[in-house]
Amino acid sequence: MERRTPSFTTNNQAIPPGNSAATGRQGIYNLRSNSLRQRVHFREGTEGDHAKPLSSQRRRIQEFQKRWERIKTDLPPQLTRRHIGMISIGGVIGTGLFLGSGAALHNGGPVGALLGYMIIGTVVYCLCVSIGEMIAFLPNVGGVVGLADLYVDPAFGFSLGWAAWYNWSVTLPAELTAAVVVVKWTEWHNNLPNAALTVIFLLLATLINCFSSGVYGEFEYYFSAVKVLTIVCIIVLSLVIDLGAGQSHPVLFSHWKHPFASEYLGIDGGLGRFLGFWAVLMQASFSFFGSEVPGIAAGEVIDATRNVPRALQRVWIRITLFYVGGVFCAGLLVDRNDPALTNSANSGTVASSPFVIAFKNAGMHWMAHFVNAAVLLSAWSAAASDVYISSRFLFFLARCHHAPQIFASLFRYPSRPPQDPAAPSDASENDDVLDIPDLRIQVVEADNDEDSEPRDEEDKAQSGQEKPDEALGVSVEIRPASEGSSSVEDVSTAVPTPAEPTHEHEHETRTEGDVEGGPRERKPWFVLPLFAVLGSASMGLLAFLNSSGSGAEVAFNWLVAVASVASLQSWAGMLFTYIRWYQGTVYAEEKHKHNTHDGQDLTDHPQQEMIEDSRNVIAQIKRIRVHRHWGQPYLAYWAFGVCIVILFTNGWAVFLHTGWRIADIPDEKRPEYGSDQQVTDPVSIFLSSYIPIPVFILLTFGYKLIYQTKMVSVEEMVFSNMEVNKAAQQDAPYETTRRRILGWLLVE
């Protein structure tokens, strides 16, 4: 097909079409460079000082948006608000409430356990509102990990992405181990070994993820609805028992005579009570882990700009009420020194669940089996959510060239011609992108073009020289001047919205051959990142550590500690990203509000351009403030501080042991740790509590060393021209009062 090179105008001078592509490209680059140099900061009186950093940041945001649009084209969003809300609840309400609440009650007492879960609930609230504010403004850059890359440091986004995949993938074997421990409590567990049970649960969790995300969302919606109704029934029945049902007299608050634990790890007095309460915080953190799922999976949510913030605002309330209400009822019904709770507090079996103990004491033995079934369903549902989220993280990391490219491939049915999974899905860098019906001229700078100009040194320092992200190229869009205009609209520094797919593209897929008249196929109705799903599910093989009988409980405790530390790292990284984001918005508002006053000299074209840009920034800041909650940024400071303190103090108990070492001396007897110490292997606890911290630091600085990235300063942050695709948004349906109530409960 003949390649047409239309002419365009700049400063009333026409650039005729020529035979050399380099001539046209050179003119475009000169136009871009000249327009960038005209962006002047009036307050400081400088000219062009901030042009290059801001242009580089705008280009990076544009690349992220276009990359995510290509990912959404290949893996289209199929999750609604009710899907993503129930996936969050399904991923959070696992074994933490049913099994972990017993250990929390034993360590902290009824009031200590309640306060611990309430404090972590406030952290989750701060986390959700912070993530919701960022996602509502910029949902199409890969979620929180992409925002960390754009507004903190590319190396930080790289490490946060792998840390997020790590904690979700490690949580999978923890849930599988918990499921095996639950089955051991039943009467028929002796007929099945632990390894067989692990295989069964792992296959079920993987199988449910071998469907498209829409089908998985429906499965998870109904499974989570069952869990929600189960918890509501347990809480209501617990309150009925507390008022005297099945008892000779009402229990009320008789177990609150000793609100805190009298000692912890042999330490008495006020210090022992405080340390017992502090131990609850780590257990509660693991229980609440997963509340941020709507922000993580924003790329697969339909109309993420509105649905993700609403889901985040509702999910944390439900989860907090369920957990706080459940722990409150557990403290009412069971004494922390109950023999059943004391003997099995460290075993992790259903016998240690305070709800099972309460129902047995009330003579409701059938409810014990009901709770056992609920725990089993919760573990399976949470394991399925772990596979889903971790596989999507791995898929996106591969698309960003941060993981092996095999995980970026997609399995489609009906299939379409194969292509490079890392390449753009709609058009490559060498396609005829000049033939666009709306007469827009789009020039793509490919890395392998010999005649393309290299970037300046500041752009290389900002985005990282030879960074894998740059392999996707840079798109520059130039619009012809309208009639009567003497200049060309400067859009080289703007971030255009991704082009909307045509109606034909939405319903048809072209095959190889003639582009204009070749045969066509139906749009694939089944799209799945199969290798990413299998790669993430393979982490569940770690659950085979429990195949040696009594080692199941030890493996569960170790995996819980690793997953808890990883989840706290992710929370802290997300909150730090918001703090930097907030600082950038404040700086941008202070910088541009003085340039929007009337009375400026609008005859000067650069000054007029700067005023329009400042007005655009102020309008975007107002749009951000619509989703900003009261108390920011102090909410984020509070949550970030709590996460950091817990992160560095969660393994303090191992330092109470003297003489422990990380290696054994040959022919020397290994020290034995008594059961009264509650830390059976301090070396294992120490490594699982603190090894994720240096790993995260090494990933960050290793990436910075290789790609020479630097931290994005507040002066370089861009908050203008972040337009959301209006066609992707859907009008909110009319809701009656009854529908609102049901929707609030079931994330309708």
Q: pLDDT tens digits for 599-631?
A: 555 555 666 777 777 787 788 888 888 888 888
Structure-model confidence comparison of residues 651 and 160, the more confident one: 160
Provide the pLDDT for residue 168.
85
Provide the pLDDT for residue 470.
42
Provide the pLDDT for residue 701.
92
Q: Which structural domain, as residue segments, surrounds residue 165?
A: 78-410+529-661+690-709
Asked if residue 33 has pLDDT above 50, the reply is no
Cis upstream peptide for 524 (omega within 30°): no
Is the separation of the CB atoms in 144 and 574 below 8 Å? yes
Q: How far apart are CA 659 and CA 671, in angstroms?
A: 8
Provide the pLDDT for residue 505.
41
Is the separation of the CB atoms in 41 and 50 below 8 Å? yes
Per-residue DSSP letter, 652: G
Q: Is the pTM of this model over 0.75?
A: no
What value does the mean pLDDT of the chain take? 70
Asked if residue 426 has pLDDT above 60, the reply is no
Residue type, 372: N
Q: How far apart are CA 551 and CA 429, in angstroms?
A: 55
Encode burial over 317-333: b for 16+ CB neighbours within 10 A, e otherwise. Answer: ebbbebbbbbbbbbbbb
Structure-model confidence comparison of residues 559 and 451, the more confident one: 559
Domain-embedded: residue 323: yes
Mean pLDDT of 144-152: 85
* Contacting residues for 283 by C-beta, under 8 A, at least 6 apart: 96, 100, 103, 104, 107, 116
Other Cβ atoms within 10 Å of 698 Cβ, number = 11
Domain-embedded: residue 191: yes
Tokens of 263: 């000692």
Provide the pLDDT for residue 448.
40
Task: Indicate the burial class of 484 (C-beta count within 10 angstroms; 0-12, 13-18, 19 or more).
Answer: exposed
Domain-embedded: residue 701: yes
* Contacting residues for 38 by C-beta, under 8 A, at least 6 apart: 48, 51, 490, 605, 606, 609
Confidence class for position 582, pLDDT limits 50, 70, 90 = very high
Residue type, 735: E
Domain-embedded: residue 430: no
Domain-embedded: residue 243: yes
Least confident stretch, 33-37, 271-275, 326-330, 532-536: 33-37
Asked if residue 718 has pLDDT above 90, the reply is no
Instruction: Write out pLDDT tens, residues 667-701.
Output: 555 555 444 444 556 777 787 788 888 889 999 99
Q: Domain tally for the chain?
A: 1
Asked if residue 422 has pLDDT above 70, the reply is no
Domain-embedded: residue 400: yes
Mean pLDDT of 299-316: 73
% pLDDT > 70, the chain: 60
Torsions phi, psi for 409 (to 5 deg):
-80, 155
Asked if residue 438 has pLDDT above 80, the reply is no
The neighbouring-strand residues paired with 478 are 441
Provide the pLDDT for residue 86.
75
| Ranges of H-type helices in 243-364 | 269-288, 293-296, 304-333, 339-343, 354-361
Looking at residue 225, which CATH number applies to its domain? 1.20.1740.10
Asked if residue 632 has pLDDT above 80, the reply is yes
Task: Indicate the burial class of 170 (C-beta count within 10 angstroms; 0-12, 13-18, 19 or more).
Answer: buried
Q: How far apart are CA 26 and CA 452, in angstroms?
A: 8
Confidence class for position 399, pLDDT limits 50, 70, 90 = confident
Is the separation of the CB atoms in 392 and 209 below 8 Å? no
Asked if residue 55 has pLDDT above 60, the reply is yes
* Residue 46, CA distances (Å) to 41, 456, 457 in order: 6, 20, 20
Mean pLDDT of 280-289: 81
For the chain, report the end-to-end CA distance as a whole number of angstroms.
51
Most confident option among 95-99, 132-136, 344-348:
132-136
Confidence class for position 203, pLDDT limits 50, 70, 90 = very high
Provide the pLDDT for residue 439.
35
Other Cβ atoms within 10 Å of 536 Cβ, number = 27
Mean pLDDT of 60-78: 70
Torsions phi, psi for 13 (to 5 deg):
-120, 125
Task: Indicate the burial class of 221 (C-beta count within 10 angstroms; 0-12, 13-18, 19 or more).
Answer: buried
Query: Quick check: helix, strand or coil at residue 681?
Result: coil
Mean pLDDT of 166-173: 84
Confidence class for position 25, pLDDT limits 50, 70, 90 = very low
Domain-embedded: residue 347: yes
Structure-model confidence comparison of residues 554 and 206, the more confident one: 206
Domain-embedded: residue 423: no
Provide the pLDDT for residue 170.
81
